[in-house]
Every structure is written in structure tokens, then in C-alpha cells.
Amino acid sequence: MQYRRTELPGASYFFTVNLYNRKSKLLIEQINLLKTIFKRIHNLYPFKIEAIVILPDHIHAVFTMPQNDSNYSLRWNLIKGYFSKEIPQQEFINASRKAKKERGIWQRRFWEHLIRDEDDLKNHINYSCYAHKLVV
């Protein structure tokens, strides 16, 4: 199945990116590595992080893409790929993932939403924080 994504240069997007194992705490256990990789990818392919919430098993983020580039999929591919390469292999890898040379750390896809306006941006940033009780 071919997934179609809306990619507009200069646009802002809300993302949810999940670990394959939703009970894992890998993202907070490896937070320094994750920060390093975000910086590395940002230096290679600039984008603005409007907001980010890193939870044990998933990430919510709002990125604004540069005016000359809309390829957020490349950025997430690189973030997930570099992170996976730096983590020692401990997870079970099923036959399907082995055949595709995948580690089994991340879910294959991610959820993205094109931000329509300022209210939409505020709603998605608030969702990230309030839904996970990060704000009281």
C-alpha cells in the first residue's frame, strides 16, 4: 500500500512517532543519544522544532519545514535510522523485519498532521502536554 503524505515547503506539521514496543522506556533511557541525533539531522537538513515532547515510548513534535524543502519523511527516516544504529541490539526481531533489515525499535510509519493555522498549532502543542499530564 502506498501512503500519500502532504508535503508543503515552509509548512508546519505535528508528528507522533512510536517505538515498536509501546512498553519500552528506550527514548528516555537514551535521551542524550536522541538529542545528539536530532542535532545531527538538523545540521544536515535544517528544520525548526516548534515543540517536542519525548515520552518513554513515543515522540510528539511540531516541525516547521524550510521554504525550499518539504521532505520531513527523510528527516524522520534519518532520526530513526541513526538512533537504531547506535543502540546495542537487545530486541527480538521477527522474520519480516529481518528480511527488510529493520531493527524492530520503531514502528514503520508515523502519524503526521499539516498544521492549518495558529489555533491548530496551539491545540496540537497543548494536546502533547496535557494528554500526557505534563502540565497541571
106 CB burial (10 A radius; 0-12, 13-18, 19+): buried
In a domain, 135, yes or no: no
Domain that holds residue 83: 12-130
In a domain, 103, yes or no: yes
Could you tell me the three cell numbers for 8? Answer: 508543503
Domain count, the chain: 1
pLDDT in tens, 37-85: 999 999 999 999 999 999 999 999 999 999 999 999 999 999 999 999 9
In a domain, 83, yes or no: yes
Residue 3's pLDDT band (boundaries 50, 70, 90)?
low
pLDDT in tens, 85-117: 999 877 667 787 677 666 789 998 999 999 999
Q: What is the pTM of this model?
A: 0.86
Residues 105, 22: contact at Cβ < 8 Å?
Answer: no
Residues 76, 24: contact at Cβ < 8 Å?
Answer: no
Antiparallel, parallel or unpaired: β 58-64 and 12-18? antiparallel
Kindly state the helix (H) or strand (E) to which residue 111 belongs, with its residue range: strand 111-114
Please say if the pLDDT value at position 12 is more than 80: yes
Residue type, 60: H
Q: Which residue has the cell 499530564?
A: 133
**Residues in Cβ contact with 47 at an 8 Å cutoff, skipping those fewer than 6 apart:** 63, 64, 65, 66, 69, 72, 75
In a domain, 30, yes or no: yes
In a domain, 2, yes or no: no
- CATH code where residue 118 lies: 3.30.70.1290
Could you tell me the three cell numbers for 133? Answer: 499530564
In a domain, 7, yes or no: no
In a domain, 96, yes or no: yes
